[in-house]
Amino acid sequence: MELRCACSVASAILVLLSLAQTNANAELVVIKADRKVDLSSHNVRSITNLKVENTGFDSVSEVLFALPSSLASNLAFIGASAYEGKVKNRATPVNLPVKLTKSEAILSEGVVLFSIILIKPLKASESTLVDVYTVFTHLLKPFPEEITQSDVQLVLYYDSVYVLSPYPVKVQTTSFKLPSNPRIESYTKVNPVKLADAEIKYGPYENIPAFSSLSVTVHYENNQPFAVVEELVREIEISNWGNIYVTENYQLTHGGAKHKGGFSRLDFQARPGISGRASLRGLQARLPPRAHSVYYRDEIGNVSTSHLRLDKDKTELLFEPRYPLLGGWHVTFTIGYGVPLQDFVFRAADGKRYLRFPFGCPIQDVVVKKLVVKVVLPEGSKEPSVQVPFTVEESNEVKYSYLDSVGRTVVVLTKKNVVQEHNVFFEIYFKFNPVAMLVEPLMLVTGFFLFFIACVAYARLDFSISKSSASYQARIQREELIDAVQKLRIIFVFRRANVSDKLEASLKELARTGDIQGCKAARKAADAVLRESTKDLNAKFQSLQCSPRPFNIVPKVEALVAKEKEKQEKLQQKHTVVVESFERKLSSQEIDNRIAPYQQRISVLKQEIDDLLQSLDDF
> Is the confidence at residue 547, as pLDDT, over 80?
no
Better-scored residue on pLDDT, 600 or 235: 235
Nearest Cα residue to 216 out of 227, 203, 232: 203
| pLDDT score, position 10 | 41
CA angle 314, 354, 288 (to 5 degrees): 10
Boundary-marking domain end, from 221, 241, 271: 221
* Beta-carbon count within 10 A of 46 CB: 20
pTM of the model: 0.68
Better-scored residue on pLDDT, 145 or 103: 145
- Domain for residue 448, yes or no? no
The answer on 245 and 213 residing in a single domain is no
How far is C-alpha 110 from the chain's CA centre? 44
The answer on 402 and 256 residing in a single domain is yes
- Domain for residue 160, yes or no? yes
Across the beta sheet with 215-221, the strand order is: 141-142, 154-160, 215-221, 184-187
> Is the confidence at residue 416, as pLDDT, over 50?
yes
Peptide bond into 144 cis (omega under 30): yes
Boundary-marking domain end, from 405, 432, 459: 432
- Average pLDDT value for residue range 305-334: 90
The answer on 280 and 342 residing in a single domain is yes
Helices (H) and strands (E) in the chain, counts: 9, 31
| pLDDT score, position 65 | 94
Least confident of 72-81, 266-275, 433-442: 433-442
> Is the confidence at residue 494, as pLDDT, over 70?
no
| pLDDT score, position 2 | 42
User: Domain span at residue 376?
Assistant: 227-432
| pLDDT score, position 36 | 96
> Binning pLDDT at 50, 70 and 90, where does residue 415 land?
very high
| pLDDT score, position 14 | 41
The answer on 322 and 376 residing in a single domain is yes
Q: What is the largest CA-CA distance in the chain?
A: 160
Least confident of 204-213, 324-333, 351-360, 534-543: 534-543
> Binning pLDDT at 50, 70 and 90, where does residue 9 land?
very low
215, 9 Cβ separation under 8 angstroms: yes
- Domain for residue 503, yes or no? yes
> Binning pLDDT at 50, 70 and 90, where does residue 27 land?
confident
Nearest Cα residue to 550 out of 482, 466, 473: 482
Q: What is the CATH number of the domain that holds 428?
A: 2.60.40.1730
For the stretch 285-317, pLDDT in tens is 999 999 999 999 988 888 878 899 988 888 999
Secondary structure percentages of the chain, helix, strand, coil, to 5: 35, 35, 30
- Average pLDDT value for residue range 12-35: 62
The answer on 209 and 280 residing in a single domain is no
The answer on 372 and 255 residing in a single domain is yes
| pLDDT score, position 12 | 43
Calculate the average pLDDT of the chain.
84
- Domain for residue 459, yes or no? no
- Domain for residue 450, yes or no? no
- Average pLDDT value for residue range 259-263: 89
Q: How far apart are CA 435 and CA 439, in angstroms?
A: 8
- Average pLDDT value for residue range 534-544: 70
Q: How far apart are CA 507 and CA 522, in angstroms?
A: 9
The answer on 608 and 529 residing in a single domain is yes
Least confident of 295-309, 357-371, 540-554: 540-554
| Gyration radius from the chain CA atoms | 49
The answer on 246 and 168 residing in a single domain is no
Better-scored residue on pLDDT, 201 or 461: 201
| pLDDT score, position 605 | 80
Nearest Cα residue to 67 out of 202, 233, 219, 213: 213
- Average pLDDT value for residue range 35-55: 94
- Domain for residue 452, yes or no? no
Boundary-marking domain end, from 167, 198, 221: 221
Better-scored residue on pLDDT, 83 or 257: 257
| pLDDT score, position 23 | 44
The answer on 286 and 249 residing in a single domain is yes
Q: How far apart are CA 570 and CA 595, in angstroms?
A: 10
Number of structural domains in the chain = 3
Q: What is the DSSP string of 111-168?
A: EEEEEEEEEEEE-TT-EEEEEEEEEE-S--EESSSEE-TTSPPEEEEEEESS---SS-
| pLDDT score, position 72 | 84
CA angle 336, 340, 346 (to 5 degrees): 120
> Is the confidence at residue 500, as pLDDT, over 80?
no
Q: What are phi and psi of 245, to 5 degrees?
A: -110, 130
The answer on 292 and 155 residing in a single domain is no
The winner for highest mean pLDDT among 298-307, 330-339, 547-556 is 330-339
> Dihedral (C-alpha) 259, 263, 266, 268: value to the nearest 10 degrees?
10
Q: How far apart are CA 231 and CA 333, in angstroms?
A: 11
Q: What are phi and psi of 302, to 5 degrees?
A: -65, 140
- Domain for residue 456, yes or no? no
- Domain for residue 217, yes or no? yes
The winner for highest mean pLDDT among 46-50, 193-197, 263-267 is 46-50
The winner for highest mean pLDDT among 228-242, 468-482, 586-600 is 228-242
The answer on 301 and 284 residing in a single domain is yes
| pLDDT score, position 156 | 96
The answer on 396 and 279 residing in a single domain is yes
